[in-house]
Amino acid sequence: MLTKRIIPCLDVKDGKTVKGINFENIKDVGDPVELGKFYAEVGADELVFLDITATHEKRKTLSSLVKKIAKNINIPFTVGGGISSVEDVSLLLQCGADKISINSAAVRNPQLITELANRFGSQCIVLAIDTKFYEGDWYVYLNGGQIKTDIKAYDWAKEATSRGAGEILLTSMNNDGTKQGFAIDITRKISENVSIPVIASGGAGTMEHFSEVFIQGKADAALAASIFHYKEIGIPQLKRFLLQHNIPIRI
Amino acid sequence: MNIAIVKYNAGNVCSITNALNRLGIEPVITDNAEYLSTADKIIFPGVGEASSAMQYLKAHHLDNLIRDLKQPLLGICLGMQLLCRFSEENNTDCLGIFDLNVKKFSSPLKIPQIGWNSIDNLSSELFKGIENDEYVYFVHSYYAEIGKNTIATTDYGITYSSALHKNNFYATQFHPEKSGIVGAKIIENFINL
């Protein structure tokens, strides 16, 4: 049976991991490769590396980092952050990324999804949607949640699917950072109405939140950062908990 | 040991090269007929679409070359599907090593299947040291039917062939190069055949 995926997200700035404290057995928690290897060994199903560097040098740093990750990590990983062109994607895939995630650039130019899917295949194109509940509906936000658009998250998810996106990474800005649980309603609405997998993100605080987003939210995967980096929940412990709640999980 | 990876337009050679490197092996990525014919083992990877991959193989005379190989060959993902008889993906006649059809998963399942699923009914030296129900990583929209060459099965709505074997030809629908320690063991088993 296909299992639900648990995906730690590592924020990377100038080639170093941001966040992440007190991991025994890791020489340098600031090293994305070391931290990624650790997560792979304790049972993460995939990894997401989100590049938050804002400098012009970022592509060079990022591509050499992606090469290092690909050499050392034997589970799938996605790279995201500021990706806006076919050339960006081509370079990262050549360096060994399994998937790339696109966000604002795809909203500004939806044709980008079509081009990327045709060129590289849907399986490596993750569409990231940042969404916020505003006056009765969930809207798409750009630039890390700073700019509101008039596009509804549900409509955008449907369009992106028909354009060839392979997965949707859905982050609720209302829930992100609150540790009060995932946005169940919009996750469920999108997951039940698109034909591609949905990764829920934003709000994980307890193990119950994960079982909720899988059972009620119908998510195919769940992504979290802080609770893993600050060791509030261990991945082995979380996976055992989910298995006990009859959720298909790879142990 | 000379390990060759078949170079063509649908080859995702980066991940498999890294996986072999982790086992201390430096593969050669090539479409050179002489090298491929004399290598000890061949890996036939594949990510992409069946008809354009087959067109490329034919145009570069790699189709007959692959059929005639005598040394162990491992097809991965699309590589496995291309070793079958026919694929529903753009109605493509494939290499015909395995007498099986490749079909599209039907809704209401999420397509592609993405993630870790278990492999059962393991019956090959390729899986030496691996238990039934171990998890490996899949990304695919099409699947090979069950047949007499099936050496592993997986369930996703239907039960399908997640690995095949006939003579010197081995194939996995999943990505051993992305399947953690279980996948590394499968690659090692192939290398040690």
Whether the per-residue pLDDT at A194 is higher than 90: the answer is yes
Q: Is A88 part of the annotated catalytic residue set?
A: no
* Residue-range definition of the domain harbouring residue B76: 3-191
Q: Give me the mean pLDDT over the A210-222 stretch.
A: 98
Whether the per-residue pLDDT at A245 is higher than 90: the answer is yes
- Please check whether residue B116 touches A, CB under 8 A: yes
What amino acid is encoded at A177 in this protein?
G
Which of A67-71, A90-94, A153-157 has the weakest average pLDDT?
A: A90-94
CATH of the domain at B154: 3.40.50.880
The reply to whether residue A122 touches residue B177, judged by beta carbons under 8 angstroms, is: no
Taking CB atoms within 8 Å and a gap of at least 24, the contacts of A224-227 are: A224/A7, A224/A8, A224/A9, A225/A8, A225/A9, A225/A10, A225/A11, A225/A19, A226/A19, A226/A177, A226/A179, A227/A179
Whether the per-residue pLDDT at A244 is higher than 60: the answer is yes
Contact (CB, 8 A) for A160 and A168: yes
- pTM for the model stands at 0.94
The reply to whether residue B18 touches residue A96, judged by beta carbons under 8 angstroms, is: yes
pLDDT digits (tens, 9 = 90+) for B71-101: 999 999 999 999 999 999 999 999 999 999 9
**Which burial class, exposed, middle or buried, applies to A135 when counting CB atoms under 10 A from its CB (0-12, 13-18, 19+)?**
exposed
Closest CB to B117: pick one of A3, A123, A167: A3
- Supply the pLDDT for residue A14: 82
Q: Give the domain ranges of chain A.
A: 5-244
Give the per-residue SS3 of chain B. Answer: CCEEEECCCCCCHHHHHHHHHHCCCCCEEECCHHHHHHCCEEEECCCCCHHHHHHHHHHCCHHHHHHCCCCCEEEECHHHHHCEEEECCCCEECCCCEEEEEEECCCCCCCCEEEEEEEECCCCHHHCCCCCCEEEEEEECEEECCCCCEEEEEEECEEEEEEEEECCEEEECCCHHHCHHHHHHHHHHHHCC
Confidence of residue A231 (pLDDT cuts 50, 70, 90): confident
CA distance B49 to chain A (A): 8
Contact (CB, 8 A) for A207 and A233: yes
Closest CB to A2: pick one of B107, B115, B184: B115
- C-alpha separations of A69 from A18, A37, B102, B175 in Å: 16, 9, 33, 17
* Residue among B145, B165, B175, B188 flagged as catalytic: B175
Chain A residues whose beta carbon lies within 8 Å of the beta carbon of residue B120? none
Q: Which residues of chain B carry a pLDDT beneath 70? A: 11
- Supply the pLDDT for residue B46: 85
CA distance A53 to chain B (A): 25
Q: Give me the mean pLDDT over the A197-226 stretch.
A: 97
How many domains is chain B partitioned into structurally? 1
Q: What is the rounded average pLDDT for all residues in chain A?
A: 92
- Supply the pLDDT for residue A24: 55
> Around Cβ A60, how many Cβ atoms within 10 Å?
11
Whether the per-residue pLDDT at A19 is higher than 70: the answer is no
- Supply the pLDDT for residue B13: 86
| Dist. CA A182–CA A171, nearest whole Å | 9
Whether the per-residue pLDDT at A237 is higher than 90: the answer is yes
Chain A residues whose beta carbon lies within 8 Å of the beta carbon of residue B138? 2
Closest CB to B184: pick one of A5, A74, A93: A74
Whether the per-residue pLDDT at A104 is higher than 60: the answer is yes
Which of A11-25, A166-180, A205-219 has the weakest average pLDDT?
A: A11-25
Fold for domain A5-244?
TIM Barrel (3.20.20)
